Amino acid sequence: MRPDDEGQHGRAARRASLPALFAVCLKIGVLSFGGGLSAWLHQEFVERHCWISEDDFASSLAISQMLPGANVVNLVVCMGEQLRGPLGAIAAAFGFLVGPFFAVIGMSALVDRVHDLAELEGVLTGVAASASGLLLVICWRGTRRAARHASGLAIVAATAIGVAVLKLPLLLVAAIIAPISVALSWRRVKSDA
């Protein structure tokens, strides 16, 4: 970042307290239904509370998406660290996850309690199906992005076929294909530069 970028739009000014950080993450965690969360985190951390600058948010998001783990959890870990160090990262991640933790278990306990209802099986099958549909959208977008390069498309296909059709262990497939894919994209990035 150039020094003259550090105006109103560059660097966030306000300092976050640990309880405030925890509270914001708790709120987003409890109300976080089905994705689109990075937009919401942006709204809270960058626009509303002015804790994180646009540039810092973008670089945290890039790291979160590149590494394994739930993207939003990675994102709050990065922002928590930036705001308050290790304790901030813990407060943010814990705040974000504690609500969903009790929510899923509560819902599952409720489902177990009314399990005699024959209708419930159909409802859950339908919910699983529509949730798979939401994932299909992610697959479609990811495949289109990957299809910009022939090798990207091949990597998508090889991974999916290896795991779902050939039933090879996922760890094995990822351990073989991921380094190959990164090496291919490294060569591309180098030749672009």
Partner 1 sequence: MRDDAYLGLLAVFVPFSLISIGGGASIISGMEGEVVRARAWLTSREFVELFAISRAAPGPGTMLATLVGWKIAGWGGAVVASLALFVPSSLLCYAVFRLTNAHREKAWHRAMREGLAPVGTGLIIAGVLSILQLSGAVGLTATVAFASAVLVMGLPRIPVLMIIALGGATGWLVG
Query: Given the complex with partner 1, which of 17 and 125 has the nearer CB atom?
Result: 125
Confirm or reject binding of residue 153 to partner 1 (CB under 8 A): yes
Confirm or reject binding of residue 18 to partner 1 (CB under 8 A): no
Least distance (Å) from partner 1 to the CB of residue 99? 7
Report residue 52: phi and psi, to 5°. -125, 140
The residues, ordered by sequence, that sit 6+ positions from 12 with a Cβ below 8 Å of its Cβ are 46, 50, 51, 52, 53, 56
Least distance (Å) from partner 1 to the CB of residue 9? 17
Confirm or reject binding of residue 29 to partner 1 (CB under 8 A): yes
Comparing C-alpha atoms, which of 40, 44, 74, 37 is closest to residue 59? 74
* Rounded Cα gap, residues 78 and 75, in angstroms: 5
Query: Given the complex with partner 1, which of 13 and 193 has the nearer CB atom?
Result: 193
**Residues 98-137, interacting with partner 1 (CB under 8 A):** 99-101, 103-105, 107-108, 111, 119, 121-137
Residue 72: half-sphere exposure toward Cβ, Cα within 13 Å: 21
**Residues 172-191, interacting with partner 1 (CB under 8 A):** 174-175, 177-178, 181-186, 188-190
* 88 close to 66: Cβ distance less than 8 angstroms: no
SS3 at position 168: coil
Confirm or reject binding of residue 39 to partner 1 (CB under 8 A): no
Stretch that binds partner 1, among 5-13, 16-24, 41-49, 167-175 (CB under 8 A): 167-175
Least distance (Å) from partner 1 to the CB of residue 142? 3
Least distance (Å) from partner 1 to the CB of residue 7? 19
* Rounded Cα gap, residues 152 and 144, in angstroms: 9
Rg (CA), the chain: 21
Confirm or reject binding of residue 93 to partner 1 (CB under 8 A): yes
Judged by CB under 8 A, the residue of 21, 72, 83, 91 near partner 1 is 72
* Rounded Cα gap, residues 187 and 23, in angstroms: 44
Judged by CB under 8 A, the residue of 82, 83, 91, 95 near partner 1 is 82
Comparing C-alpha atoms, which of 160, 159, 192 is closest to residue 175? 159
